[in-house]
Each structure stands twice: as C-alpha cells, then as structure tokens.
Structure 1
Amino acid sequence: MAVDTTSADRQAIARLMLEGIIVTVKGNSEAVAVECHWAGGVQTHHALRRPVAHLTQMSNHSALLERIQDLHASGHKAPMIAETLNAEGWMPPKQRATFTADMVRQLLHRIGISIAPHRGWVTRFKQREPGELTISELVARLGIPYSTIYTWIQRRVVTARKVPVLSHSLWLIRVDEAEFSRLRQLRHGMTVPQPLCES
C-alpha cells in the first residue's frame, strides 16, 4: 500500500480481502487461536491473549505459582519477585500487563506462604540429598528458561521430587555429571527428550 493510505482505507481493503475468521478459545483460559481465511485461499494463524478474571483460568497458572514459590524460597522479596516475573515474560490475569509487589504478596498469601524472607535455607534444609538441585540452580547451570524445566518435570524427562519447605513445597531435581551431559544435549536440541524409565 502507498504510504499515504489512510487507516480507514486499509481497514476497508482488509474487509474486502478477508473472507472469514475462526476464533477458538482454549477452554476457559486466556489462550486464543485466530484463523484468518483470505481471498485466494490463503490462511494465516495467530495466537492472542484475552483478559481473564482469575489466575486459575490461565493456562500456565501452576507453573507461575511454582516460579513465585521458588523465588520466595530463594529469599527474594515481593518487589524483586514482581520484577523478575515481568522480566521473564509472565503476565497476570485481567487486563494488567505486569505484576506488582502487592499482587505478588496477595498470591503468596493466597497459597499460604509466609512473606518473611528465609535467606540461605537452600543449603540447610534436611530433605535435600547429595546431587539434588533446585529449579533455579538448574536454570543457572544450563542457561534455559524455567518453563523448560517445568515441562521436563511434567513429562518425567528428569528425576524430580517435591519436598515440604517451611509453609510450602519445592521441586528438587537429581542431577549427576552423566545427567548434566544428557540435559546439555537436550538443551542444544541434539536429542528428543524421552521420559525416564521406571526403576
């Protein structure tokens, strides 16, 4: 189109070319798939995010709560947790685009976590066994997103267990040198992740 084409003209042209739109909402979540059918048979697909009223409606709400728990257990206060969530691309429900410290405090309170920080507990709590790492530690060692490790846990690609710590729980992942080598290969896409065999 010409640079001087008005917005109204662009919309009119789009309406002439667009034959139909199919909008699919994933359950009751924020995830929306849009399929556009254009003149000539071309189809385009788009992923959108709609505002939802409650955190439990969000498709990634379990992973989000796990991440908040992990950050809190590592000693981070609510403002830093909010800043970290925003930097990592997490988004809250409703129409707000970013988390605030107050929102984090409300979520911590809702899931029964004390807001008082507990720095240094990771190296002290008795349930931890040799060779076990927290999600944060494995993220730092491998340089991968938190969501990848949560997916590995859900698909049983790694050996992980959840232990109670203070007023909540935390994932611990068993990683020796051989396991690090395997996870590095997965990290670089050299192999397809498969669930670990039952022992």
Structure 2
Amino acid sequence: MEQVTVTVLGTSERVTVTITWAGGQTTTDETARPVALLQQLSYFPQIKERVRELAGQGHRPEAIARRLHAEGFRPARGRGNRISATAVKEILRELGCLQPPARTRSAPPPGEEPGRDEWWLEDLAAELDMPAVTLYSWIYRGWVNARKESRRPYRWILHAGPTQLAELRERRTRPPGWYTRLRWTDTEPPLPAQDGDQTASSHL
C-alpha cells in the first residue's frame, strides 16, 4: 500500500476512500462518517419529503420516527440510532406543519433581564438549531459566556453577539469527537515558557 486518499463529499456523511497499491493499481470504495446535523445527511431531502407524506396521512411525530427507522433512515450520529421524535418535530416546524406551542415565561428579577446580544438558553438553542442540553454543556466547557438569575428558577442567560453566533454555528457543524481528536493530532510544539510566566491549566 502506497497511499490512502480520503475525500468527504461536501459536509455530508459520505466519504470516498481510494487506496493506491504498490504497482499503481487503485481500489475505491465509499463509507460513512458521523455528522453533527441531520441536515448534513445526503439523504436529508428524502427524509424531509417522507416526513411530509406521513404527516399528511395523519401520523404523529412519534409514529413518524418509528416509520423512518423501519424504512431504513438513520440519524446523523450513527447507524444504530433512531431519528428522534424531537427531530421529526423540528422538520415539521420547518415545513410549516407544526406550530411551536405558546410559552409563558415568568419575569426575571428586576435589572436581570437579557440585555443586548443576550439570550435565554432555550431561545439561543432554537436559534442555533441544537438541543438545549448540548448548549447547557457548552456553558460548563467555557465555550459560551453565561450568567444565571439570582433567584428561582435560576435560568441561564447567555451572551452571543453576531461574532459569537457565527463561532457557535461553526462549532455546531463539527462532528462528534472533533475536539478530542484535535488534542491528539495537533503536532505544533508548545511555545517556550518565558521568565515569570505562571503555569496555565488546560481548558476545554
């Protein structure tokens, strides 16, 4: 074996692998990789159309999710998983077939309302088209700045201006395990310590 060439088709799950053998012969095959978003899947248009058809037949999101699994449609993060009812609901909202329920939100303590470029956690998660629980974990990783109400229910208020929104959207598109792999594949040597420098702790 002389060379292995891996080509990702766009941002989709489809990956072409070409092996060049000693002597010049090549072998080409296709495999799949996990991706972060359902919308990145090459067959997402087929999923979307099937959801539209099943909703038109009167099926609820949970039943649609089961039908999609039975018909061989798989989610972005692996073949062994199912497309969730939550994901189906998001597709239905995008299609205009499911309206989000009206929500009432209690007033925050005086002076603690979200200011400019600040968001309630659920609102920012909806803006980024991601699960709120994932965004919650990003707060503790230090990937987004946030503050909490001073009294119950202690809701999170996150800061994300235009620049931060662009960075968060880019982070959202990266596949699972991207940052873990980066730690092991980054071969750039560390900068030499300067006199008087304090030892810095690593931060994810």
Q: Into which bin does the TM-score normalised by the smaller protein fall?
A: 0.3 to 0.5
Greater strand percent: which structure? Answer: 1
Structure-1-length-normalised TM-score: 0.43
Structure-2-length-normalised TM-score: 0.42
